[in-house]
Amino acid sequence: MLSFLKKKWCLAEVSHDKALALGKELNIPTTVGVLLVNRGVMTAKEATLYLKSDLSQLHDPFLMAGMDKAVKRVIRAIQNKESITVFCDYDVDGVTSAAFLTHFFRDLDCPVTAYLPERQAEGYGLNSEAVRKIREQGSSLMITADCGITGVKEVALANEIGLDVIVTDHHQVGEEGLPQAVAVLNPHRKECDYPFRFLSGVGLAFKLGLGVRSGLHTAGRKKEDLPNMKRHLDLFALGTIADVAPLTGENHILTRHGLDVLSTSAKPGLVALKEVAGIVGNV
């Protein structure tokens, strides 16, 4: 069987006895049992959690190295009405990361701008000219989305000119080590013991949002005055799937809920994409 990306899919050989037993115990088709066993889901308890995919199963965002520092700096920016710029990669994961963070900060009535580099002229990742431009336009905090982990020189420049930087990036750390940012959110850091290491860029943006939301609530904001994170899970699903991130763990949970949100999303860009793709009803 060929996938949309023209990759040949070969089903792994599994114990049909286990799949059959799982199917009988949960009253699900044997085919579903085979798919579950293929994914390493062997017991009824594991299968129930996998199929339920409840948001309560998500890990605490503060288990991620750097989250506490990132949240404190963002909350200070929100309280002081500082101008925030989200600098993103130009692929789907990067754009959905920036879109999520932009929605999140606007929901908090915080001044925010997204900076999308011009692919041909600026290339991938941070660049010095953009850093200077962002500072000149009045931002005092820049959050990278799906990029920045190798921007050691650019972050150093930002520090020199008074622009604080929070890096959120799921790519591997470069040979020069971590940039000297206020905080670096990356599950591949040596110092990071976060339980799930396969979040995409939009996943890290979402985790930062969860952390900030929790921090604001702890600081005294009422829950009803905080952003509704679930309504932006459509962006999580799109970015995660487009980046071909493994649909396991937190990616599986959030994408499942995100596809439900995407089915009824009123975001103009997503509505247009569904129209072009000929999708009517549930995604």
Residue 170 CA to residue 276 CA, distance in Å, equals 30
For the whole prediction, is pTM greater than 0.85? yes
| Rounded-to-10 torsion of CA 202, 206, 212, 217 | 160
Tell me the Ramachandran region of residue 66: left when phi exceeds 0, alpha when psi lies from -120 to 50, beta otherwise: left
Does domain 61-228 bear CATH number 3.30.70.360?
no
Tens of pLDDT along the chain (283 residues) come to 676 677 887 777 777 888 899 999 999 998 889 889 888 888 898 888 888 899 999 999 999 999 999 999 999 999 999 999 999 999 999 999 999 999 999 999 999 999 999 988 888 889 999 999 999 999 999 999 999 999 999 999 999 999 999 999 999 999 999 999 999 999 999 999 999 999 999 999 999 999 999 999 999 999 999 999 999 999 999 999 999 999 989 999 999 999 999 999 999 999 999 999 999 888 8
User: What stretches of 128-247 show up as alpha helix (H) in DSSP?
Assistant: 128-136, 152-160, 201-218, 233-242
Q: What are phi and psi of 267, to 5 degrees?
A: -65, 125
Whether 91 and 126 have beta carbons less than 8 Å apart is answered as no
CA distance 75 to 81: 10
User: Domain limits of the chain?
Assistant: 1-52, 61-228
